């Protein structure tokens, strides 16, 4: 963890001021609200986010012209709701969560089991059970659950102030993550993988010894391999459902897999390839928007985007994601509080995994898990959660006290 190396000297104070200006602010003392309304905004991270949202609006508008499943007004409404939620999170002092480990743990568990409650849980696509219906409202409680897990693990890990010396403490942190992880894996494998990656990244960045981390990774890989192998053997209990197993393995041989997922992957790769260098143009995705590619607005939204905007457009989109994530990491390196660092690490890890997995499954190098591409995938639950994560980053900047 980075330490505060600045002191009261004039030259080091000037360097601190310069670092803040580069990061998006202008206050020399690290306090907000002294130099206009933009002082409380971390523009270095906010600007790429807004540009991605513009691309999202354009892409979803083109989808709404051809796909009955897409309601463009609903997409805008979800975005508006997400922006409102992000503003609330931005204004809220996130530091109040630092000492609420138990409450956050309970809340995370409740959100993960909600789809299993009779009368609340409803089926999603391919038999998934990650959805909840309350009156006319249908949403995925695991989406806000991702942010709760980030706050939970940051709160639990911050207590060790950047160095975990006791294996018992390390095991306790792993157990804290394991409970909501197991609960969500029952209904939503993709979200479970996200929560695992995010929580594990926070633990690693909390000062866990490398040997413990490597041993844990080896154990997880072994257990995962055992689960996948046993799920293919008849006559014994299967941990993974048939559609989950197919999604995890289809990328290994999409052409030789006679399943819907194998077909979907082939169509996604055809759509991306047909986009060429500059794409076919907005609304001209003849592969993705003509019924050949299922889930073109959700699971395979990157393929839909790539067919319309080509390789160049895809590079621009990925560059904006990289900019946004890097800005979050840079802020984590500058803030003084361990809890603040870990909250930012969690947000960066969440976005990184989603982008790598969502794009990777469209080009055949990652398993198909149905993980949304941040801000781009159709669906209000995901949109609101991603924008709330932006609000968390902005809240760290707004309530910062010092930068290193």
For residue range 85-107, what is the model confidence (pLDDT) as tens digits?
Answer: 999 999 999 999 998 999 999 99
Reduced to 3 states (helix: H, G, I; strand: E, B; else coil), residue 137 is strand
Mean pLDDT lowest for which of 229-233, 266-270, 372-376? 229-233
Check residues 181 and 129 and name the one with the higher pLDDT. 181
Percent of the chain with pLDDT over 90: 55
* Predicted confidence (pLDDT) at residue 14 exceeds the cutoff of 60: no
Lowest-pLDDT choice from 114-118, 180-184, 380-384: 114-118
Q: According to the model, what pLDDT value does residue 20 have?
A: 46
The single-letter DSSP state of residue 5 is -
pLDDT digits (tens, 9 = 90+) for 182-234: 998 877 888 888 999 999 999 999 999 989 999 988 988 888 778 777 777 77
Lowest mean pLDDT, pick from 19-23, 76-80, 327-331:
19-23
Mean pLDDT of the chain, nearest integer: 84
- Among 8-12, 308-312, 318-322, 391-395, the least confident range: 8-12
Residue by residue, DSSP assigns 184-251 as: HHTT-HHHHHHHHHHHHHHHHTTT--HHHHHHHHHHHHHHHHHHHHHTTSTTS--SS-HHHHHHHHGG
pLDDT beyond 50 at 12:
no
Q: Which of 27, 87, 164, 48 is nearest to 384 (CA)?
A: 87
Highest mean pLDDT among 17-21, 94-98, 364-368: 94-98
What average pLDDT score do residues 240-265 get? 66
- Percent of the chain having pLDDT more than 70? 82
Instruction: Name the β-bridge partners of 131.
Output: 122
- At 122 the pLDDT is 75
Whole-number pLDDT of residue 253:
61
pTM of this structure:
0.85
pLDDT at 3 over 90: no
For residue 346, what pLDDT is reported? 97
Of 12-21, 34-43, 83-92, which one has max mean pLDDT? 83-92
Please state the rounded mean pLDDT for residues 171-183. 93
Q: Which residues are within 8 A (CB) of 316 and not within 5 positions of it... i.e. 6 or more apart? A: 309
- The β-bridge relationship of strands 137-139 and 121-122 is unpaired
- pLDDT over 50 (residue 167): yes
CA distance 46 to 42: 6
Lowest mean pLDDT among 65-79, 92-106, 130-144, 257-271: 257-271
Q: Region 39-56: what's the mean pLDDT?
A: 95
Q: What is the pLDDT of residue 52?
A: 98
Secondary element (H or E) of residue 132:
strand 131-134
For 117, the token pair is 């409650």
- List the end-to-end C-alpha distance of the chain, in Å, as a whole number: 11
Of 269, 329, 261, nearest to 294 by C-alpha is: 261
* Residue 83 pLDDT level (bands cut at 50, 70, 90): very high
Average pLDDT over residues 143-158: 95
- DSSP letter for 260, please: H
Q: Are 308 and 287 in contact (CB under 8 A)?
A: no
Rounded to whole angstroms, the Cα distance separating 88 from 85 reads: 5
């Amino acid at each position: 963890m980075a330490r505060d190396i600045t002191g009261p000297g004039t030259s080091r104070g000037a360097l601190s001021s310069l670092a803040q200006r580069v990061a998006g602010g202008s206050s020399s003392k690290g306090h907000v609200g002294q130099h206009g309304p933009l002082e409380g905004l971390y523009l270095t991270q906010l600007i790429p986010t807004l540009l991605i949202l513009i691309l999202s609006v354009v892409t979803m508008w083109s989808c709404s012209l051809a796909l009955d499943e897409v309601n463009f007004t609903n997409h805008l409404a979800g975005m508006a709701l997400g922006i409102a939620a992000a503003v609330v999170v931005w204004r809220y002092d996130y530091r109040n969560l630092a000492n609420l480990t138990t409450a956050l743990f309970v809340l995370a568990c409740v959100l993960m089991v909600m789809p299993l409650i009779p009368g609340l849980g409803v089926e999603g696509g391919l038999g998934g059970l990650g959805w909840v219906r309350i009156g006319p409202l249908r949403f995925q409680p695991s989406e806000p659950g991702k942010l709760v897990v980030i706050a939970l693990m940051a709160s639990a890990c911050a207590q060790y102030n950047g160095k975990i010396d006791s294996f018992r403490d390390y095991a306790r942190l792993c157990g804290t993550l394991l409970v909501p992880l197991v609960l969500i894996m029952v209904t939503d494998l993709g979200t479970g993988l996200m929560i695992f990656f995010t929580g594990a990244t926070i633990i690693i960045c909390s000062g866990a010894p490398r040997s413990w981390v490597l041993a844990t990774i080896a154990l997880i890989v072994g257990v995962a391999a055992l689960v996948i192998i046993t799920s293919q053997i008849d006559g014994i209990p299967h941990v993974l459902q048939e559609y989950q197993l197919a999604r995890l393995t289809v990328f290994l041989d999409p052409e030789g897999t006679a399943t819907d997922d194998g077909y979907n992957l082939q169509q996604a790769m055809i759509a991306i390839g047909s986009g060429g260098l500059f794409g076919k143009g907005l609304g001209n995705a003849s592969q993705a928007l003509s019924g050949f590619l299922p889930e073109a607005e959700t699971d395979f939204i990157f393929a839909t985007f790539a067919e319309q905007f080509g390789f160049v457009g895809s590079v621009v989109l990925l560059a904006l994601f990289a900019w946004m994530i890097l800005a979050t990491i840079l802020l984590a390196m500058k803030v003084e509080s361990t809890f603040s660092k870990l909250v930012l690490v969690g947000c960066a890890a969440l976005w990184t995994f989603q982008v790598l997995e969502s794009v990777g499954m469209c080009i055949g190098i990652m398993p198909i898990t149905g993980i949304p591409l941040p801000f781009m995938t159709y669906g209000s639950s995901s949109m609101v959660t991603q924008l709330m994560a932006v609000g968390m980053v902005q809240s760290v900047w707004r309530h910062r006290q010092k930068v290193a």
